[in-house]
Amino acid sequence: MTPPALSQPLTLRDRTLPNRLVVAPMCQYSVSDGLVGDYHLVHLGRFALGGFGLVIVEATAVTADGRISHGDVGLWSAAHVPGLARIADFLHGQGALAGVQLAHAGAKASSRRPWEGGGPVTPENANPGEDPWPTVSASAVAAVPDGPLPHALTVAELDDVREAFVAATRRAVEAGFDVVEIHAAHGYLLHQFLSPMSNHRDDEYGGSPEARMRFPLEVVSAVREAWPDDRPLFVRVSAVDGSRQGITIEDTVAFCRELEAVGVDVVDVSGGGVGGGWEHPIGYGYQVPYAERIRSEAGIATMAVGLLVDAAQAEAVVAAERADLVAFAREAQDDPNFAVHALRSLDGGSFDAYPVQAGPRLAGRARLLNRLGPWTGPDPVQVEAPRS
């Protein structure tokens, strides 16, 4: 039997993913002062135990004012390193690679947690001790209708943001991460520079597609220089804006060619974030064609994400070389063991992908259950006679 494509390792620089299944960054909005603790150790650790080859920590703010909410993870100071190092160590101990997504929310900062209703924090709706703060962006364009206008960053302030990404990258090295992913998607700061809907600048950082990508490329280049040569660098992009008036796939292909030229190893291909709504086809695997096109036309490895819900579906993406990796967020939250379940279903029922603490026991149990047949009920006790 040919091994599943999902089970094949992938070497990027000096790091090897044991398989092609990745946990995408998922904001949990569940820390104070950016400091991770036991919640994140358990939340992320369960995915490594569940067989994923790479687990990426959620959007991690490079500055305090770059957080989406007061509950966001941070890496803007040395105080954040020990908690994240503990997580990276645990992921490594279970055979997974550890990644962290570095981010700045820009105009979408100072927001309420989703379960609090989302939207901007105001003096009227703020939790005690969680006051709103001023936001920044490429231009003075609100992130949401009737939202607060962000401050348009000056060129000198862009230098500060760039250096914040570099400093956070160095802390990610100290924490022991294998992969850094730069967040340039979903309507956050770097995406705000890329999109014509949010970037109205008339200097060298606005106007043409080439000018709009200038600052994101400066950040990526600076991070690549600070990030060790033997470790892969990912960038998450929105292949298209939600509105057809925004970024096009042609824009993103051109951007990804530049990313490849400055040393990016994988583009994590998502979509939307500026303009609200979604004016494009949607359904299972709806963003896979974007990943496939970027892979083909920009000559760079890609990671597909978005309504990937089934092992055979994910296998088809990688086996046909439509993307090199497949990432899961909600599916992983629903089933932290999705990776081992997927590999088992594709590999003739083998438990080889399971942790050693579980695989042999589950294989033995499966043999017994196969002999017994299904429980038919309604009596909860259904036994076979002892063998003579």
User: What are the angstrom distances between the C-alpha of 206 and each of 188, 192, 202?
Assistant: 16, 11, 5
Q: Which tens digit of pLDDT belongs to each residue from 215-235?
A: 999 999 999 999 999 999 999
Task: Give the C-alpha separation, 384 to 169, whole Å.
Answer: 60
- pLDDT at residue number 386: 86
Q: Which tens digit of pLDDT belongs to each residue from 157-171?
A: 999 999 999 999 999
E strands, the chain, are 10-12, 15-17, 21-23, 54-61, 73-74, 97-103, 136-137, 151-152, 179-184, 233-238, 266-270, 301-304, 325-328
Is residue 202 scored above 90 in pLDDT? Answer: yes
**pLDDT interval class at 387 (50, 70, 90):** confident
Proportion of the chain above pLDDT 70, given as a percent: 100
Q: Which tens digit of pLDDT belongs to each residue from 82-98?
A: 999 999 999 999 999 99
N residues, the chain: 388
Is residue 101 scored above 90 in pLDDT? Answer: yes
- pLDDT at residue number 146: 87
Q: Quick one: fold of 5-356?
A: TIM Barrel (3.20.20)
**pLDDT interval class at 1 (50, 70, 90):** confident
Matching residue, tokens 């399971």: 354
Proportion of the chain above pLDDT 90, given as a percent: 96
Is residue 377 scored above 80 in pLDDT? Answer: yes
Domain ranges of the chain: 5-356
Cβ atoms of residues 162 and 82 within 8 Å: no
**pLDDT interval class at 20 (50, 70, 90):** very high
Which H or E run includes 154?
none
Q: Which tens digit of pLDDT belongs to each residue from 43-77?
A: 999 999 999 999 999 999 999 999 999 999 999 99
| 256 half-sphere exposure, CB direction, 13 A CA radius | 34
Q: Which tens digit of pLDDT belongs to each residue from 344-364?
A: 999 989 999 999 999 999 999
How much is the average pLDDT of 138-167? 97
- Return mean pLDDT, the chain: 97
Cβ atoms of residues 270 and 235 within 8 Å: no
Rounded to two decimals, the pTM is: 0.96
Q: Which tens digit of pLDDT belongs to each residue from 256-314?
A: 999 999 999 999 999 999 987 899 999 999 999 999 999 999 999 999 999 999 999 99
Question: Is residue 188 flagged as an active site residue?
Answer: yes
Determine which one of 188, 205, 290, 354 is catalytic: 188
Matching residue, tokens 């040393």: 263
Task: Give the C-alpha separation, 241 to 329, whole Å.
Answer: 20
Closest CA to 218 of 176, 155, 146, 170: 155
Q: State both tokens at 263.
A: 């040393």
- pLDDT at residue number 276: 78
